């Protein structure tokens, strides 16, 4: 373990142990470096690394603070990493989405407020009879974002949003090239919304699985043929 890694681990342990809580200010740099047995340079590198993943917030002229450690904030770091993946890894994101999102949809069937479920129907109604691919994908992203939020689990919601957004290009590509995809997508969205409204978690999970697996299956076949 490098000296910087050791410094990161030491600060992380202080947070895990509850010695540093969300919103707390870190001790002065010389005091903390002495206490941890580290050079001030190593400590600075550790603080810089932890600030990049939103664990610490460095405020110029004020000090360094532990962030809120909100799951959505921390998941931004995952989004940053995901952005560097090549297009040929999109299948892996679709696989991850197929695992995570149906579970989130089932959770939403029991936890999502009725008014929000009704809002999903309004969202779908907002699309014209013949939407463009861009309009369909934007509506699709918002539809799934709301359901993930409706799961009532902020970590799950953040995971879904991080993974789902990275499959947008594949969904757009499918919308342009596959016949009947607009009608199929809307029908599946309606089925998901109706299962949520009926408070049927298993049915909602099944429709979400079918919906996401359709994109994945299409992309696998397309890559084989190309």
134: region left, alpha or beta (phi > 0 left; psi from -120 to 50 alpha): alpha
Q: Which of the pair, 159 or 73, is modelled with greater confidence?
A: 159
User: Rounded to whole angstroms, how far apart are CA atoms 213 and 98?
Assistant: 6
For 224, the 3-state DSSP assignment is helix
Q: So what's the pLDDT on residue 172?
A: 58
The pLDDT tens digits of the residues spanning 30-47 come to 999 898 888 888 888 889
Return the pLDDT at 164: 72
The model's pTM is: 0.61
Q: For the chain, what is the mean pLDDT?
A: 83
Query: Could you read off the pLDDT of 55-81 as tens digits, one per residue?
Result: 899 998 889 999 888 766 665 555 544
């Amino acid at each position: 373990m490098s000296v910087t890694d050791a410094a990161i681990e030491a600060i992380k342990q202080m947070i895990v142990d509850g010695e540093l809580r969300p919103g707390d200010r870190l001790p002065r740099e010389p005091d903390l470096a002495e206490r941890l047995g580290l050079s001030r340079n190593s400590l600075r590198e550790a603080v810089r690394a932890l600030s990049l993943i939103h664990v610490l917030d460095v405020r110029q002229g004020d000090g360094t603070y532990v962030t809120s450690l909100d799951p959505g904030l921390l998941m931004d770091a995952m989004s940053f990493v995901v952005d560097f993946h090549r297009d040929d890894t999109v299948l892996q994101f679709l696989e991850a989405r197929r695992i995570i999102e149906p579970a989130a949809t089932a959770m939403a069937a029991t936890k999502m407020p009725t008014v929000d479920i009704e809002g999903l129907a309004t969202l779908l109604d907002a699309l014209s009879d013949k939407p463009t691919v861009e309009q369909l994908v934007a509506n699709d992203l918002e539809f799934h974002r709301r359901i993930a939020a409706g799961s009532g689990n902020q970590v799950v919601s953040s995971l879904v949003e991080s993974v789902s957004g990275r499959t947008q290009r594949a969904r757009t590509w499918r919308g342009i090239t596959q016949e009947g995809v607009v009608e199929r997508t809307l029908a599946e969205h309606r089925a998901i919304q109706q299962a949520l409204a009926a408070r049927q978690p298993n049915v909602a999970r099944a429709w979400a699985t079918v919906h996401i697996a359709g994109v994945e299956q299409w992309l696998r076949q397309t890559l084989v043929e190309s």
